Each structure stands twice: as structure tokens, then as C-alpha cells.
Structure 1
Amino acid sequence: MMASDREIRLWAPLAKRADAVVVPATPRGRLDRPLSAEELSGAQWLPMARLDDEHWAIALPAGTDYLLSVDGGDPRPDPRSARQPYGVHGPSRVFDETAFSWTDGEWGGLDVLGEVFYELHVGTFTPQGTLDAAIDRLDHLVNLGVRVVELMPVVPFPGERGWGYDGVSLYAVHEAYGGPEALQRFVDACHARRLGVCLDVVYNHFGPAGNYASVFAPYLTGRHQTPWGDAINLDDAHSDGVRAFITDNACRWLRDFHADALRLDAVHELRDDSPVHILAELSRRVDDLRPALGRPVSLVAESDRNQPSTVLSRDDGGLGLDAQWADDVHHALHAYLTGERFGYYVDFGSPEVLGKALEHVFVHDGSWSTFRGRPWGAPVPDDLDRRRFVVFTQNHDQVGNRGRGDRPDARLEPGIVAGGAAILLLGPFTPMLFQGQEWGTTRPFQFFTDHDPDLGRAVTAGRLREFQGHEWSQIYGTDAAVPDPQSPATFTASKLDWDEPSRPEHARMLSWYRTLIDLRRAELPGDGSPATTAHGPGWFSMTYGPFTVVLAPGTASADVAVRASGLVTGFGQAELDTSGVLYLPGGSVAVLRN
């Protein structure tokens, strides 16, 4: 093997022959279909060597465009392709991930628990929608006080624009974002600014278009069903190869792209009846990798199960992940501040429920879930580190999966939004912001796609059906239209406006977030102990460490007897008199020193 060659390895346990098909002429632009036999008439078919009963390999020079074929079948993209320059249907390209000259040798990593996360979507974060353009905005995040940048999925997906959760080439990076070298540049630039990077990865399904993995091996199984159809094969025949596909992928991002954490999408849809769950196996693989990396790395799960076992150690019978998202905290705070009670908010909204979420994490902790129609979850032990739970007032799901993708800032008074931010950032959890919320943007983040016309029409029709009902008219009125996911205008409307932070009302909100993050970094305890809460007519309070946050989310003012040594800061005209009574106008928040 020449120095510039890279080994291409294929898992094809049922094949009797495997070939690499080197594409003779470079296609132009993104392909919306596989290359035809005529277009491949001059291709060079190179036999792959059998390594064992299930694996084949061949060495190809970096930069080579190629496809793979089993048993003489139609050539298709490599399931482990490192680059897809022509989109998900086109040839793969050999990529040398070791060629990049890293400059982050002094980056010692960071323990992400308790640090402020910032979730962004590469395509809408900047006008250009690329990783290189995002680098130019990193100093804004540093000045804000963020420590971890979380990228929504960056692997290739159909078309140019999308959320990224319909990815199919899980080892590559979307070309419209700049490809794999751009991701390496982005991570290196973050580390130069002492920012960690968390990649959002999706192992629970493949997207509906461009998925050719099953041509080569049984990546899917009908043994389980998910919202996307047949499940990823984690416990059926030949599942060991699929499990390796997932765990190797995770280790690759941490090792070859220097990521500091991975956010694992919707792990409750990883249907696995194996003796060792895939998440436990993944956590073990990452544990084994840590000594070689010489820096902390973390696994963060998005889970709907409300099970503390997700973050308990494997020795204690848990899955061994480092943290998990806690949607109940979002639901409780959102419903309390907005008054919304539809859909999965039906069990939320009261101050008592908000208090339970902030003190005990899960509202549904074995109790009845009306939305699910069954008991749900399990209680979180009082001594379990609250930093293991990632909380938010906005994220891509909670904004983008609303009918019009509207932000809380578009509906609530600024003081109420500021109150939610204070609860978020001065509490015991690991807080996460969503792009633009720090300056109170009212620009939406909508659901957008770029599928082929037939699939696109089906997606658009499904979106219309989803939001035709009582809740839609209740929130938006009967005349409001559902944004078409396929329209480029929906994507454009979701892009951040970087002129907003200079406007007075947005500058004030940005200053508020910076103040809260400064207080968090300087004075909050780092032990993840639980918060305590209280409430009364028209007010709610949370005490954690040296601070008590008191908010009045309604229109009426509130007089609250408090034990405090002083007023630290506030959003609104709060006053603390010498007798220990806090006066809060409606729609305001105060931070007190205990």
C-alpha cells in the first residue's frame, strides 16, 4: 500500500464477491440518483480481498472516486464513506483524515457537565451556511460565556438544506457545509478559543433517500418497528456488524475529528434486546478510548424514557452514559410561562409541577402520563448529580416542531423570557441555549427539507396533516398557513439575522444572558446538588447555591417575603425593601443573594 493510499473496508457477511468500482469521469454537481450503467461504462472494477468471513478490503489513493459492488450487483456508495462530494446518491471519495495539521495540541479537553452548551444548525447559523463561516462567529460565543458548541447533525442528507436527521452516510460530512476538512478546521478553531465541540449523531435510523447500506448487509431488521419503519439491526442475525458500525463511528468522531462530546439522538428508538444494550457497549468502547485520547470525552443521550439508569454506571446496572436531555424541565417551565396545555404539555403548567421538575428532574417518574396514556419513567435519586441532565428553554425540537417554528420571544414579554433564562442558567443542571435566543431573536426556526419532488410532496402533506387541528387555530388563528418544508423560503426565514444584536431591545437581552452566565461561572457550586423552589400567588422562586431567582410571569405584580442580603440583578423594576419584601412588577424577574 502506497503512503497516500487508504484502506477501504466493507462489511458484507452474505457476499461471495466484492469489488471497488473506480469512477472514470468526475460527475458535475450534486446527483439526484445513482450513476447509470451507461455512465459507469468506463469504470474500473477492482476485486476486493476477503479478510475473513464477513469483511473485504482494498487500498485506494486519497482523492479517488469510487463505488462498491457485491456479487456483481449495481455499484453503490460505501456505507462507511468518508466523503460524498456529489451527494448521497453519488460516488464516494477516499479521504485521508490524518492529513489535517491540527493546532490544538495544548487543548486538554473539558468535562462538559455543568458547562453552558450552545446548539446551532450550520446551514442557518450564518448567511453562508458553512462551517468556515461559523468559525467567524465563534468569538461571539466566547464573549457570551459559552463553553460547548453543539452542532446539529453534519452528516450528508438528501438535497442541500435540511435539519440533518435524515442522514445516510454516517461517516461523512455534508458537502454544502464544507465537507470533512471543514469540520476539522471548525473543531480546531473552537479549541483555539477554549470551546469544546459536541456533535449530534443519529444511530436510530437512516434517512428515506440515499440509503444503500442494506444493499451490502442486514443493517435493518423487521424484528422491531420504529417511527421510520424497520429498526436498525442491533439484536438480530449479523447484528455484530451493525453494532461495530455504530461504535466505530462514535470513536472516529472523537479520535479523528477531536470532538469532545457526542449527543445521541432519540436513543429510546434504539430497539435492542441483546444481553448488553448497544448504549452500554458504546460507553465501554468510549471508556477504552479515553486513555489514548488523553482528554475527557462525553456521551449525552436524548431519551424519552425518563430513566435515571441512562446515566448510572454500568457497574450499578446503568448504561454508563455521561448525561441525558431532560425534556420534562423544558415542558414544565414552558407551560408555566406560556400557559400552553395542549399535546405533551397537558400534564404541565402549574407551579407545583414546575417545582417538581426543578427539584427532582422528571415530572413523570413512574406517575401517570396523560399524553402517553400510561405510567412513565422512574424517580431520580436525590444524590444523583443534576449536572448529568441537560436542560433548555429552546432547542431545535421544541422550536422547530411547533407549527410555525416560532420562538417564545415572539409571544412572551421580554421580562418573562428573561425569567426563564434565569431559571435555566442559575440552576443545578447543564444548561443549553439555542442559536439566537441569547439576544431574544424572534426569527423562527422552521422545519425545512430538500427532498426529490415525490418525497417532498409527501413530507409537505404530512406536515399539513400534523398541524391541522384545534391547537393550531388556538395558537396561530384559523388563517395562518403551515410553512412548506420544501420551499427555499422556509429555510431562508430560519436563518439568523446578525444585525439584531445591535438593536437596543436585543442588546438588552444579550447583556442579560451574559450577566447570568457570568454569575453562573463565578459563583454557582459545581456539585450538581438539587435546587429548592417555592411559589405563591403570581410568583415562583428557585434557590440554588448563593442565589434565589424570583419571577412574576403574569400581568399582576407580586409582593414576596424573601430572605436575602440584597438584589443582585433583575429584568424589570424589581425593588427589595429593608423589611425583606421583594416587589416584582408583572412580567419581571429578580436575582437575589441569599
Structure 2
Amino acid sequence: MGITREIGAHYVPETGTTFTVWAPEAEKVDVVIHGEKKQTIAMQREAFGYWVGLVEAAKPSTRYSFRLDKEKELPDPASMSQPDGVHEPSEVIDPNYSWTDQHWKNLPLEEYIVYELHVGTFSEEGTFEGIINKLPELLDLGITAIELMPIAQFPGSRNWGYDGVYPFAAQNSYGGVEGLKKLVDACHQAGMAVVLDVVYNHLGPEGNYLNEFGPYFTEKYNTPWGAALNFDDAHSDHVRNFFFQNALMWLRDFHIDALRLDAVHAILDTGAKHFLQELQEHVDHLAEQQNRPFYLIAESDLNDVRLINPIEQGGYGLVAQWMDDYHHAIHTMVTGETEGYYADFGKPEHLVKTLKHSFIYNGIYSENRKRTVGSDATANPAKQFVVCSQNHDQVGNRMLGERLTQLVSFKMLKPIAALVILSPYTPMLFMGEEYGEENPFQFFVSHTDKDLVEAVRKGRKEEFKTFAWQGEAPDPQSEETFNNSKLQHNYKNSEKHYRLREFYKSLIQLRKTIVQKLSKEHLEATLNEDETVLQFTHKAAGLGCMINFSKEPQTIEPEGKEWEVVLNSADEKWGGPGIESSNYSSGSFALQPESVIIIQANA
């Protein structure tokens, strides 16, 4: 592994705080301590342009900044706390925390049932504490892992998190370092894992001072966000180290169980050892030291199994990746939308292919991309693919941020749930989908730079040109857009929402009973003649699922065994129109329109 070097401010009670910053082109670097009066301490230059200074008087809550060449005073690029926002001094934090999760060792990946949430809109409080208050509800639902959208410090108090500019600092308006540690500890006490979404492909624009310190970016590549982070050009060892240290900090110091790596196709690295492989090696080393597993889960649109194949087979060794193909196959089937990137999808047989082989685009031509896309993932275990019917991207990057609740009938939400939760893959829900949340999830920011706000507004409008969506995009800067995106949690006083949640809960419990027997190898999937009914059967588990996508009743005769009904979404119990017991006579099943029947083989 390459260069490893601690960075940032590290407080030790007996000796004070050691400050370390990488600024290879600077002639002089000082650490400035902010108090009743400023104190300036010269730092010592070490190898490769690292600067180090020990300040005995600097304790937790001390504010500090770095002064480069007697000119600019800037926050610490590796700051762990920005209590006054992205432009103000950094804060020394106390590393000590009274953890109560000593017996926690993470869950096996196949037991993950992931719940993606945005801290600011998930609860009334919009904080880490607000999530803790709702953990009993998530436990009751059957969730085993929460996934936090990025919490690295961003400008203002409203943001999806992908505009973060201090990767080491937990957002001050969410509750900062202490709040995040308290949340992770509470999750582990409840037997729940924590996945953190981290962004290693770009930084946001406002408050991004990295380039002032050194060549963190390279002009070698263009990205949607401008110059690429420098992972393979001159001085890249130290940029790589910055992000390796970040990942290790979340896992080691915050007890996070897994990192979701945002858009890894935009991490551009042509070196002999890709950044992702080296990151995995560092994480493996930490796992050995701590005697517990940590997971790296990639988001990628390349359909490339190299991400998740073992290092000894030429892969990067990551544990799993998001699989957009599954989402797109479901979405186009139930909504009929085929604009933009959905143009490559919309055929019922795509669902059969993705259930059996994971990637639909597995080395075939994409009409939308005008090139051949993907590799064959048939041999990769199903647990390596995270699937969903909704997530922050697929909902929030619609012009109006509509959830499936607004796009399909309420009864159709139940078959969609079965497709995700009873798939062989690692299922992920998007906050609120379990009860059919009707508020949208829209794109929001709270930048202070007026020109940047205008650029964001313009950029959002450009993004929607390839879609036939009607209406006007909500203003991302408006607080109303943010408030409109908050969950209502209205299932407690709405019978239909309550029944949908109970259906989700039953599916999750069912998955838990058969999870050890889920695989692609033992799965059969077929369509009926007119491609309106999908059947898939987990042969090893003796469990079948029949989904009627059409608006007409269908009669299906599953092959082979004697079957009994476990769940029928048309049952009044789940808010359906009701069923007759005679539906199950003589080996055939009457499927109501837009419904799912789950059957189990008689022993």
C-alpha cells in the first residue's frame, strides 16, 4: 500500500493537539488559534510537503485555521467539525466517546435489509437525534441496516449531501460528531448496521478550498463537476491518502459498518493499482486489526463486475454494488416511462433476465448510450447486488421528485415491494416507501453564493431536457422545496398506508425465514404468454411469487408441487378488494389486477 499519513487535528489530553496539513507548494504554514486573541504558531515542514505543529493549549472546542504563506487563513481540509459553517474556522474535537457497542461485530451481508434515508427530511427534527427517536419503528418494520445519505459538512443547512466540502466533518446542523456517534451506538444497541454514503469523486463548489493547499485536482480529465480529483497524476499519493484516511476514520472512529461509495465511475485512475483496490486493501487491514468485517459498496453505472470480483482475480474486491438495471426494469414495467435513460428498458423479459443474470446490459449494445455496455455477472453471488424500486437518485432526479406513490396505483405498490424484498439480491428501501409516502423528494440546496444558486437552477432545467415531464422544476434554493420533501409518517392515522406498511413488514419477515436459501442458481423466472404475469420461484426455499402487472384478472397454474398461499396482496387484510377461497382450487390461482400472490410448497 502507498503512503499513509495522519492528517487533521488530533487531541491527546496529556500533550495537547497535533495539527497536520499537506501543503506541498507553500513556503510557510502557520496554525492560527482563535480565542479572545489570535495565537499564531509556525508549523514544521516534513517530507512530501506535510506540515506539523503541536499546540499544548489547543483543547476540544478550540477554533483554528491554517495560514498559508502569511496570506490566506483557511479552514482545515481534514476538519472534523465546522460549527459555524464552511467558511469559518475549524474546531478541535474530543476523540473520546463512551461507546456501548463492544459486542457488536456487524451483520453478514446477506442479512442486510437496507433503509436509505436523508437525515434532514426523515424526521421532524431533521437531525441524528431525530433518527434515534424513530429506530423502534424501523426495527418493527424489520430493517437491519440504515444507509445515511452523505453527512459531510456542506454549505448552509439544506442539501442532499453531495455538495459536501469537508469529507471528515459531520454536518453541524445534523448534530455533528457527537450526534453521529450517538446514532451509530444506538443502532448497534438495536442490532442494526449503519451504512454511510461517502463522495470520493468530487467536492461541492462552495467552501471548497482544497486547491489552495495543493494539487488535489487534475486537468487530465473532465467530470460533470469540473476538474477531476487527482488520483493518478503528480502528487496523487497524498490525495489518495486524504481519502483513505477519511474512509478509515468513519469505520474505526465512528464504528460505521459499511461505506456506500458514490458514483465510482467518476473516480478516474489509470494507475497500476486503482484507488478502489487500494482502498479495499486498507479496509481489509483495518478489519483484521479490529476483528470485524467492514463493507465497501459501490455505486456505478458501468455494470462492471471488476468492482466486486476478488483482487486475486483482477477485481477490486469490493463487497457489493448498486444495480440500476433491476430498478429500471421494474420502473419501466410499472410506469410505462421510456424517456431518457429508460429508453434502454421497458421489455417484460428484462425482469426475467435481471432476476437470473443480474445485469441486463452485460456486454450488449445500449441504444441510449450508443455503445456496448457491461460484463456478465451471472457467476457473482446475488448478495453482491443492492436493488431497489426507489432511491434518492431515481426519485429526486425527477423534475418534480415524485415517488412511485404518485406514478402507479396504490395496489401496484405491493407487487413492486415483493419484487425487491423477495428477490435474491440485497434489498434496499427508500425512506417512506414502506407506507406509500406521498410527499415528494425534491432537490434542495442552501448556498450563500448567488451566482452559484443561479447556476444550480439552470443546471437542473438542462438535466430534464431528455424527459417528457410537464411542469416547472421546484426552486432548489427555496426552503419550501426542502419542507415539501419531509416525510409525513402518516401511516399511523391512515388505514391504507398502515396496511401497506404491514404488507412490507410481512414480506421482510418472510425474507428473513428463507434468506439462507436465496440465490440466482436456484431461481426460476418466467412470463406468461401475453407477458402480463411474472412468476419467479426460489426452488431451494420452496417459495413462489406470481405478479400480475395488468389491469385484468389472470389465472395461473404453477408447475409441479402442491402449493399454498402465504400472502395475497388482493386480500382485504392488505387493503385489497378481497378474495374468495375458491381462487386456490384445483391447482390454479386467480390473480387480481395489479396484485401479487406468494405461495409456498407443501412439505
* TM-score, normalised with respect to structure 1: 0.93
Q: Say if 1:526 and 1:179 are closer, same or farther in 2 by CA, change over 3 A.
A: farther
Is 1:485 matched up with 2:476?
yes
* Whole-angstrom CA distance in 1 between matches of 2:467 and 2:78: 45
Is 1:533 matched up with 2:525?
yes
Q: Shift of the alpha carbon at 1:158?
A: 1.1
Is 1:341 matched up with 2:338?
yes
1:352-411 CA-partner distances (Å, limit 9, x unpaired): 11111111111111111111111111111x332110000000100010001111011112
Gaps of at least 5 residues in structure 1 are 26-41, 474-479
Q: Shift of the alpha carbon at 1:253?
A: 0.3
Secondary structure at 2:66 match in 1: strand
Match of residue 457 from structure 1: 454
Match of residue 424 from structure 2: 428
**Are the equivalent residues in 1 in contact too, given 2:277–2:311 (CA < 8 A)?**
yes
**Are the equivalent residues in 2 in contact too, given 1:15–1:70 (CA < 8 A)?**
yes
Secondary structure at 1:583 match in 2: strand
* Whole-angstrom CA distance in 2 between matches of 1:527 and 1:590: 18
Q: Say if 1:174 and 1:51 are closer, same or farther in 2 by CA, change over 3 A.
A: same
* Whole-angstrom CA distance in 2 between matches of 1:163 and 1:298: 23
**Are the equivalent residues in 1 in contact too, given 2:210–2:216 (CA < 8 A)?**
yes
* Whole-angstrom CA distance in 2 between matches of 1:354 and 1:522: 24
Match of residue 37 from structure 1: none
Q: 2:495 aligns with which of 480, 493, 504?
A: 504
Secondary structure at 2:75 match in 1: coil
Secondary structure at 2:535 match in 1: strand
Secondary structure at 2:454 match in 1: helix
**Are the equivalent residues in 2 in contact too, given 1:264–1:300 (CA < 8 A)?**
yes
Q: 2:255 aligns with which of 246, 255, 258?
A: 258
Among the aligned pairs, what percent are the same residue?
A: 41
Match of residue 354 from structure 1: 351
Q: 2:34 aligns with which of 23, 33, 37?
A: 23
Is 1:57 matched up with 2:52?
yes
* Whole-angstrom CA distance in 1 between matches of 2:88 and 2:252: 27
Q: Say if 1:426 and 1:167 are closer, same or farther in 2 by CA, change over 3 A.
A: same
Q: Shift of the alpha carbon at 1:440?
A: 1.0
1:523-576 CA-partner distances (Å, limit 9, x unpaired): 233553343211122211122232211111221111111135111101114664
Q: Shift of the alpha carbon at 1:4?
A: 6.4
* Whole-angstrom CA distance in 2 between matches of 1:120 and 1:307: 26
Q: Which amino acid aligns with 2:537?
A: T
Match of residue 166 from structure 2: 169
Is 1:132 matched up with 2:129?
yes
Match of residue 515 from structure 2: 524
**Are the equivalent residues in 1 in contact too, given 2:339–2:467 (CA < 8 A)?**
no
Is 1:80 matched up with 2:78?
yes
Q: Which amino acid aligns with 2:553?
A: S
* Whole-angstrom CA distance in 2 between matches of 1:202 and 1:577: 51
Q: Which amino acid aligns with 2:46?
A: L
Q: Which amino acid aligns with 2:89?
A: P
Q: How many residues align?
A: 570
Match of residue 33 from structure 1: none
Is 1:590 matched up with 2:597?
yes
* Whole-angstrom CA distance in 2 between matches of 1:470 and 1:162: 24
* Whole-angstrom CA distance in 2 between matches of 1:570 and 1:73: 70
* Whole-angstrom CA distance in 2 between matches of 1:445 and 1:6: 42
Q: 2:536 aligns with which of 542, 553, 558?
A: 542
Match of residue 556 from structure 2: 560
Q: Say if 1:468 and 1:368 are closer, same or farther in 2 by CA, change over 3 A.
A: closer
**Are the equivalent residues in 2 in contact too, given 1:362–1:379 (CA < 8 A)?**
yes
Pairwise mapping of residues 100-139 of structure 1 onto structure 2 (< 5 A)?
100-139=97-136
Q: Shift of the alpha carbon at 1:280?
A: 0.2
Secondary structure at 1:104 match in 2: coil
Match of residue 31 from structure 1: none
1:83-139 CA-partner distances (Å, limit 9, x unpaired): 001111110001122x11101112122123342000000000011100011100001
Which stretch shows the higher mean deviation, 550-559 or 219-228? 550-559
* Whole-angstrom CA distance in 1 between matches of 2:140 and 2:349: 36
Gaps of at least 5 residues in structure 2 are 1-11, 571-577
* Whole-angstrom CA distance in 2 between matches of 1:429 and 1:502: 33
Pairwise mapping of residues 244-255 of structure 1 onto structure 2 (< 5 A)?
244-255=241-252
Q: Which amino acid aligns with 2:29?
A: A
Secondary structure at 2:51 match in 1: strand
Q: Shift of the alpha carbon at 1:469?
A: 6.2
Q: Say if 1:179 and 1:494 are closer, same or farther in 2 by CA, change over 3 A.
A: same
Pairwise mapping of residues 238-249 of structure 1 onto structure 2 (< 5 A)?
238-249=235-246
Pairwise mapping of residues 277-426 of structure 1 onto structure 2 (< 5 A)?
277-380=274-377, 382-426=378-422
1:279-311 CA-partner distances (Å, limit 9, x unpaired): 000000000001222211100000111011110
Secondary structure at 1:19 match in 2: strand
Secondary structure at 1:332 match in 2: helix
**Are the equivalent residues in 2 in contact too, given 1:555–1:586 (CA < 8 A)?**
yes
1:135-158 CA-partner distances (Å, limit 9, x unpaired): 000011111111111000001111
* TM-score, normalised with respect to structure 2: 0.92
1:14-63 CA-partner distances (Å, limit 9, x unpaired): 222211011235xxxxxxxxxxxxxxxx5322111223232111233222
